[in-house]
Amino acid sequence: MSANDFRLRICYGKIGRLRHLSHLEVVRALERSVRRARLPYAVTQGFNPHMKAAFGPALPVGTAGEREYLDVWLTRYTDRSAALEALRGATPTDLAPREIRYVARKAPSISAAFTIGVYRIEVDGEAVDTEQVQADLSRMLGEGEFVIEHKGKTKVFDLAQSIPKEPCVQVSDGGVYIELTVRTAPSGSLRPEVFARAALAKSATSFSAMRTTRLDIFIEDDEGGWSRPV
């Protein structure tokens, strides 16, 4: 990368069937889109040259995203709307870029700075009741700590820290929506679906399926203010 490269931030969706892609698969697919769009991407120096790009926090397989981000470094300034149009024409529809913007070369790295995720969890099931779900979530939050065991390791989340906003529950056809905001920490992030499942399991609230979408990602500044990356 040269000091003169232009840092282009792309906001894209990961929706429809492509929610089933892994992070690595998304990374590869979008790098290929950038090549197909013939953007003047920068190439790293060294033994194994590759496109200079950086991706925002990973989404798990099965989780969709409405506003996901990647940064690509370009060697030439390229008109924003032309670049967006070229990218859209070179990307599978369900990964299509939505907005792009140049950001400061020295802006914080997107994998580290993007700490606030807003999620929508669709809970399907005939007898799922909004108030019941709201009560389940409130009870879990009231416990103050959330403990998960994964592969023999125990992880403890401080809920006041991990869930900085009161969850909100709404009715949808055939079930309910939960909107849950999660703050990631360097030590690991709470998976919203795992939290919701645990909350519903405690009171044996039954449901048929759960689908998660990350609606938005925010950067949290030192004063605690949240801002959109684009």
List of residues contacting other proteins (CB under 8 A)? 16-18, 20-22, 24-25, 28-29, 31-36, 38, 43, 47-51, 61-62, 90-94, 209
DSSP class of 205: -
How far is Cα 199 from Cα 131, in angstroms, rounded to an integer? Answer: 13
- The two beta strands, 209-220 and 64-74, are parallel
The Cα 228–Cα 230 span in angstroms is: 5
Residue 20 CB, nearest distance to other proteins (Å)?
4
For residue 77, the minimal CB distance to other proteins (Å) is 18
CB of 86 to other proteins, least distance (A): 12
How far apart, in Å, are the Cα atoms of 111 and each of 159, 203, 212, 229?
A: 22, 36, 20, 12
Q: How far is the CB of 187 from other proteins (least distance, A)?
A: 27
Beta partners for 14?
65
Alpha helices in 37-122 (DSSP H): 80-88, 110-113
Residue 188, Ramachandran bin (φ over 0: left; ψ between -120 and 50: alpha; else beta): left
Q: How far is the CB of 16 from other proteins (least distance, A)?
A: 7
Integer angstrom CA distances of residue 45 from 1, 2, 50, 222: 7, 10, 8, 34
In the complex with other proteins, the residue whose CB is nearer, 91 or 134, is 91
Q: Which is nearer to other proteins, 144 or 174 (CB)?
A: 174
With tokens 């008109």, the residue in question is: 79
Q: Which is nearer to other proteins, 43 or 127 (CB)?
A: 43
In angstroms, what is the minimal distance from the CB of 17 to other proteins? 4
Query: For other proteins, which is the closer residue by CB, 16 or 144?
Result: 16
Give 90 or 137: the residue with its C-beta nearer to other proteins. Answer: 90
Q: Please state the closest distance from residue 11 (CB atom) to other proteins, in A.
A: 20
- 182-186 own/partner pairs: CB under 8 Å, 24+ apart: 182/116, 182/117, 182/119, 183/115, 183/116, 183/117, 183/220, 184/57, 184/114, 184/115, 184/116, 184/117, 185/115, 185/161
**Which residue's CB is nearer to other proteins, number 53 or number 190?**
53
Q: Specify the residue, 134 or 212, whose C-beta has the smaller distance to other proteins.
A: 212
